[in-house]
Structure 1
């Protein structure tokens, strides 16, 4: 397996950030002081975290200059010392974890360890960016960072620029390596899904299943299921068992019946002739067929 791009980018940017931060921490070039009234015009003073150097015409350089204004006792300088050293140690630890996690000589890298190294390197970048920014904020404040009074000028020097660049490279490299957590998280989620499918979750105690009775169906639907006729319950009854109960009286039929023989007079009228048919009275109160 080829080394992922995010790991390669992190392994390139993190050592560069470590080199820049190490140079900026040790070099006496955080602030440049120039324009002394009692010294030549080309004399400048470089102030760092651990030392001061006097330089003239870029040829003569003398370090170990005495601190006449209490510069090394200033709070930004003390905090920058502690945080920069902590950042360097965290960077070294992050690179060690990244070396063990990337494993360019193996088939597959250790994604979790590489991601952890990215988090450590990102924290190291923050630890170096905080003191550099704080120092730059109080660069011209002579009450916080002591310096000779005006017309002496104070300016940003090269070590502060190196600190900014090193911090940014560490942040980018750490973020790039931290993206190695994505394949690891994806693999963990896949395993969790497989485990959940293999062992289905039991229903909670609070879950209640209610079996509601089926509604009563009409006979046309009740005895016809899945395309087949089903016998009625009366047809499924065992004929050998005696019937229990008593017969219910059936209601009279709703069809109309005439209790009187309406054709009785018609037969007599036919025997006497057609002339007597109209005068023959009807014995029923109901209309006769001849009247209809």
Structure 2
């Protein structure tokens, strides 16, 4: 049996969203800071959840491992770390559960198992969108060395990955609704057995063998003739050759 289209759609969007979410979590580019006072003009500071890097537009050198206790002590950083890690783990679990239900080598897919996997993927996408949206909303209020704060590419990847996971999980969770309106093959077999018990089929009609003419002729030396002719149809009746008077006359006394 072919894999349903909703499962294919979810199994494609789920892993794609997980990859984007992983890059968003690890990469140090949630926001960028330019024009830092007392530093070079071409210095760009990239801040993420786990690391801070310095880049120079003139030399393209990247120096990571920068320390900023004021930035990492913000409440949003701690919450975003926990939510992003939880989303990554939950998405992996959802993909594994959905893969167990979407088995194309069986005759019927497991709608319930695949639907549960879709729900887990959907929740994973929601856990990704929450910290990304929150960070984008309060990005300018987090302590920074300059007032020129810009959105990093990690936030864009986080939004896209979360939306992909939400769409994929939502479509796969429709399998739970499909399962409610379906009956298992075993249930259909049981229904057929019950119907056949209440309405038994009639016995096959008995077929009698009619003896043929050849059998009688072989059993007896006397010839056998049927009532009909050998051509098995009635011959046409010959018309009467006697003349038919067109009118009838009255009898006379001499005739009597």
Q: TM-score, normalised by structure 2?
A: 0.70
| Gaps in structure 1 of 5+ consecutive residues | 200-292
Equivalence for 1:114:
114
Query: Counterpart in 2 of 1:39?
Result: 39
Q: Deviations over 1:83-132 (max 9, x none)?
A: 00000010000000011010122222110000000111111111111111
Aligned to 2:199: none
Cα distance between partner residues in 2 of 1:20 and 1:126: 14
Tell me, yes or no, if structure 1 residue 158 matches structure 2 residue 159.
no
1:60-209 map, 5 Å? 60-67=61-68, 70-141=70-141, 145-149=142-146, 152-187=147-182
Residues 34-75 of structure 1 show CA distances to partners (whole Å, capped at 9, x for unaligned) of 11121221110000000000000161000001216x000100
Q: How many residues align?
A: 192
Instruction: Give the 3-state SS of the residue equivalent to 1:33 in structure 2.
Output: strand
Q: Cα gap change, 1:78/1:13 in structure 2, threshold over 3 Å: closer, same or farther?
A: same
- Structure with the higher helix share, 1 or 2: 2
Task: Give 1:9 deviation, angstroms.
Answer: 0.2
SS at match of 1:46: strand
SS of alignment partner, residue 180 of structure 1: helix
SS at match of 1:132: helix
Give the structure, 1 or 2, with the largest relative contact order (CA under 8 Å, sep 6 or more). Answer: 2
SS at match of 1:12: helix
Within 1, Cα distance between the matches of 2:135 and 2:114?
32
Task: Indicate how the Cα distance of structure 1 residues 173 and 2 shifts in structure 2: closer, same or farther if over 3 A, else same.
Answer: same
- Displacement of 1:183 after TM fit? 2.6
TM-score, normalisation: structure 1: 0.62
Work out the CA distance in 1 between the residues paired with 2:83 and 2:91: 12
Single out whichever of 125-134 and 57-66 deviates more from structure 2. 57-66
Structure 2: gaps of 5 or more residues: 195-256
Would you identify which runs of 4 or more consecutive aligned residues in structure 1 move more than 6 Å?
Answer: 189-196
Output the CA distance in 2 between the equivalents of 1:128 and 1:180: 23
**Structure 2 SS opposite 1:122:** helix
Q: Aligned runs of 1:189-268 on 2, under 5 Å?
A: none
- In the other structure, the counterpart of 1:27 is 27
